Structure 1
Amino acid sequence: MKIRRQKKSQKILAFFQSNFALQAPYTVLLDATFCRAALEGKVLIKEQIPKYLGAQTKIVTTQCIILEVEKLSKISSKLYGTWIVVKQFPVHKCGHEGDPVPASFCAKSLLGKNNPGKYIMASQDPELRSHVHQEVVGTPILYLHQSAPTLEKPTKKVYKLSSHEETTLKTLKRKHFGETIQEPPRKKKKAKNPHSLSCKKSKKVKQANQQKTDGKRKRKRHKRKGGAAKDMSRSE
């Protein structure tokens, strides 16, 4: 089972390496929810996480996360052990020194929209993980599943490429592999009725037709008034 889990983790990490420039040594940003679950499941974070990821790993937290757990531990003694665990890790600068913010807000601000720090987010908080899925594309999420470190599979949103990325990928394929790009078949235009103005005949054609018809017409003779009386006088 351990070998199978490690193969899955390496496959997921390889995806983020090739698509989002994630490289070892990895930086894991953990919050108090992960430390609480590790304490309950007797997980040795410093030993098991680097072993699971298969590379040198730096595990960090922030001052905001530590201070929040410290305040909560004074209210609930159950969180005292969590505070002891989380403050063992190096404190990463978050920009909120002297003016601490809620732990989830601090983590979100570090991740931003594109995860410029290339963090692996370690959390059990469903709201924070959902935020990472929806808003921070390209960020691996690490959580504990039955006391075992587990990387979440990339979502469909991560696999979806933008139009610019698709055209770039097609260009690279054609350049390096000589693949021909199959363009989608064009839709046949439906035959439309001709415009009424286009059906009008030209003036030249009309004149020519009129001349032909005039030549074929027979002239009718009209009798003049009084003509019959003159003919009678001449005969007498």
Structure 2
Amino acid sequence: MRLKRQKKHRKAVKFYKACYGFRHPYKVLCDGTFIHHLLTYRLTPADHSLSNLLGDSVTLFTTKCAIVELKRLGKSYSESIDAAHSLITARCDHDKIKNADACIMDVVGENNSEHFFVATQDAHLRQKLQLVPGVPLVFGLRNSLLLEKPSAVQLQFAKASEEERLHMSESEYKMLKKRTERLLKTEDIRASSDGNEDVGDQESAMKAVRKTHTVHKRLGVKDGPQFKRKKAKGPNPLSCKKKKNPVNPNPVLGKERNDKDGAVRSRSRKRKRSRGGKKLVESDV
């Protein structure tokens, strides 16, 4: 369950960063009920627990009206009053002291220009702030803190603002029209001047070529380089195979030719005779 909650909280924070321009360190505006809840369930230090919830560093704020409201509740809230005094007091423009919920609504305004995360335990105040675009809400549930998902009004407002960014406004369209007209005029002027310059350049280039051609003719200099044609040469001797001496395919064994007569003499092989017979004769004797 904790992993699912963390994923939901990260998704909500990414939505407010992308669509409403929230940046860290995140500003968290706390009322008296939320401060009292943190102390009763010992979710201290408060900045550490809120930074774990939002995934980045946090600065905590409160209002003068919220502190006055805590003082009215009596001595039982003395610890929460001391904790509220340690927080940064957000500037509220009204002169008279109001209720904490009305004061927070004034500080937030119509579009939450200061980019506050509002932390409160008041369900009625949370319902009001859900109708204001770009106000993320934090509340406590026993010993855990939760970030409410963006309301339908906030999602619709973000979609409408994105569509407005994609399309041009009337002032932007007029500016673009004026710029295009100026660019077209300057391009026409340049094209006309470039055309005249090109004609003059071509004529001067032709004159220069003619002059050089006549000078070369007088001096007998050829205009372009003349290349000799390559004739066919013999094969590379290193790439050729060496000639083999002719070998007689049918060699005559045991025959030689005379130089004078040309007759063929046969050379017979000597026959080895066994001398076994002589030995037998000697034995008989």
Deviation string 1:126-167 (CA, Å, 9 cap, x unpaired) is 111111012x11100000123211100111122224895464
Residue-pair matches, total: 167
| Higher-Rg member (1/2) | 2
Shift, 1:69, TM fit: 0.8
Deviation string 1:68-111 (CA, Å, 9 cap, x unpaired) is 211222xxx33223222222212222224x63222111100011
**Equivalent in the alignment of 2:126:** 129
- Assess, with a 3 A threshold, how the Cα gap between structure 1 residues 72 and 146 changes in structure 2: closer, same or farther: closer
The yes-or-no answer on 1:68 pairing with 2:65 is no
**Unmatched runs of 5 consecutive residues or more in structure 2:** 169-285
- Assess, with a 3 A threshold, how the Cα gap between structure 1 residues 29 and 162 changes in structure 2: closer, same or farther: closer
Matches within 5 A, 1:47-58: 47-58=48-59
The yes-or-no answer on 1:154 pairing with 2:135 is no
For 2:133 and 2:91, locate their aligned partners in 1 and report how far apart those are by CA, in whole Å.
Answer: 22
**Equivalent in the alignment of 2:103:** 106
Structure having greater relative contact order (Cα 8 Å, sep ≥ 6): 1
**Equivalent in the alignment of 1:85:** 83
Deviation string 1:16-72 (CA, Å, 9 cap, x unpaired) is 111111111110000001011112211111221112211111101111111121122
**Unmatched runs of 5 consecutive residues or more in structure 1:** 173-236
- Assess, with a 3 A threshold, how the Cα gap between structure 1 residues 14 and 164 changes in structure 2: closer, same or farther: closer
> Over aligned residue pairs, what C-alpha RMSD do you find?
2.3
Aligned letter for 2:118?
A: M
SS in 2 for 1:113: coil
For 1:31 and 1:78, locate their aligned partners in 2 and report how far apart those are by CA, in whole Å.
Answer: 17
Matches within 5 A, 1:1-236: 1-44=1-44, 45-73=46-74, 77-96=75-94, 99-134=96-131, 136-161=132-157, 165=161, 167-168=163-164
**Equivalent in the alignment of 1:184:** none
- Assess, with a 3 A threshold, how the Cα gap between structure 1 residues 99 and 131 changes in structure 2: closer, same or farther: same
- Assess, with a 3 A threshold, how the Cα gap between structure 1 residues 78 and 116 changes in structure 2: closer, same or farther: same
- Assess, with a 3 A threshold, how the Cα gap between structure 1 residues 60 and 166 changes in structure 2: closer, same or farther: closer
- Assess, with a 3 A threshold, how the Cα gap between structure 1 residues 164 and 124 changes in structure 2: closer, same or farther: closer
Conserved? CA contact 2:67–2:84, under 8 Å: yes
TM-score, scaled to structure 2: 0.54
Shift, 1:170, TM fit: 6.3
For 2:20 and 2:144, locate their aligned partners in 1 and report how far apart those are by CA, in whole Å.
Answer: 25
- Assess, with a 3 A threshold, how the Cα gap between structure 1 residues 84 and 158 changes in structure 2: closer, same or farther: same
- Assess, with a 3 A threshold, how the Cα gap between structure 1 residues 162 and 103 changes in structure 2: closer, same or farther: closer
Percent same amino acid at aligned positions?
26
Deviates more, 1:107-116 or 1:77-86: 77-86
